[in-house]
C-alpha cells in the first residue's frame, strides 16, 4: 500500500511532460478535440510555470501537419517526427535520459492522441522501461469514445495512473506556499471541460 502511494507522487525536478501527436489534421476527426485542446493548453501552461520539461512528437508531420498552434511548445524538446505508434523511438529515448536537469525523469505525464494507439503504445514502452506513467484522461482522445475508454482501462491494468489535468497540476504544486501558486490559481479558475468519462449523477 505504502509503495503504491509513493509511486503516485509527482516531484517537480523528477517529472516530464510528453505531448503525443496533437496535430492539425486530426482536429476534425477526434472525439471532443476542442475540449481536449482547452484542457491540454491549460495543463501545458501550468507546467511551464512549474518548469516541467516537455518533449513533443509528431506522427508523419508531412501528411498530418504540425502540432496545433494552441499549444505553447516553445522551449520543448522536439517536435520529433516519427512513424512508430510509440513515442519511444531511439531519438526520443536518448532525450529522455537527460530531460530533467541532465537526468532521467522518474515520472512521465502523458497527453495526446490517439489514446488507443500512440498513447497506449507509448505507455507500454515507458512502463517496460521503469517509468511511472500518469496518463491524463481529460487531455487524451481517440476518434471514438469507446476506444478511448477501453485504452484507459488497459493502461490502468499495466500500472499507469489514470489522472486528470488538475490532479497533476496540484500534485506538482504541492501547497499554497509555492511561489507560482497565484499564477496557477488564475489558470485553474477556468473549470476543466468534461469529456464524457464520468457519468452524470
The catalytic site residues sit at 21, 82, 118
94 close to 153: Cβ distance less than 8 angstroms: no
CA atoms within 13 A on the CB side of 161: 21
Beta carbons within 10 angstroms of residue 144's beta carbon? 14
| Residue 134 and residue 160 in contact, taking contact as beta carbons nearer than 8 Å | yes
Instruction: Give the number of other CB atoms < 10 A from CB of residue 185.
Output: 11
For 139, other C-beta atoms within 10 Å of its C-beta total 32
Cell, residue 47: 507546467
The size of the chain, in residues, is 201
Rounded-to-integer distance, Cα 44 and Cα 52, Å: 9
Amino acid at each position: 500500500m505504502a509503495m503504491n502511494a509513493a509511486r503516485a507522487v509527482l516531484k517537480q525536478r523528477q517529472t516530464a511532460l510528453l505531448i503525443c501527436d496533437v496535430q492539425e489534421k486530426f482536429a476534425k476527426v477526434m472525439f471532443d478535440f476542442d475540449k481536449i485542446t482547452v484542457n491540454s493548453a491549460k495543463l501545458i501552461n501550468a507546467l511551464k510555470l512549474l518548469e516541467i520539461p516537455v518533449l513533443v512528437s509528431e506522427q508523419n508531420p508531412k501528411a498530418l501537419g504540425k502540432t496545433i498552434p494552441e499549444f505553447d511548445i516553445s522551449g520543448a524538446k522536439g517536435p520529433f517526427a516519427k512513424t512508430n505508434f510509440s513515442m519511444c523511438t531511439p531519438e526520443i529515448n536518448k532525450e529522455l535520459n537527460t530531460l530533467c536537469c541532465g537526468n532521467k525523469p522518474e515520472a512521465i505525464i502523458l497527453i495526446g492522441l490517439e489514446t488507443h494507439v500512440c498513447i497506449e503504445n507509448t505507455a507500454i514502452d515507458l512502463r517496460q522501461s521503469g517509468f511511472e506513467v500518469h496518463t491524463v484522461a481529460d487531455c487524451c482522445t481517440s476518434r471514438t469514445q469507446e476506444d478511448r475508454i477501453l485504452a484507459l482501462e488497459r493502461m490502468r491494468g499495466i500500472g499507469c495512473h489514470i489522472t486528470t489535468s488538475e490532479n497533476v497540476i496540484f500534485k506538482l504544486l504541492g501547497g499554497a506556499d509555492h511561489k507560482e501558486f497565484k499564477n496557477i490559481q488564475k489558470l485553474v479558475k477556468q473549470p476543466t471541460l468534461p469529456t464524457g468519462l464520468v457519468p452524470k449523477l
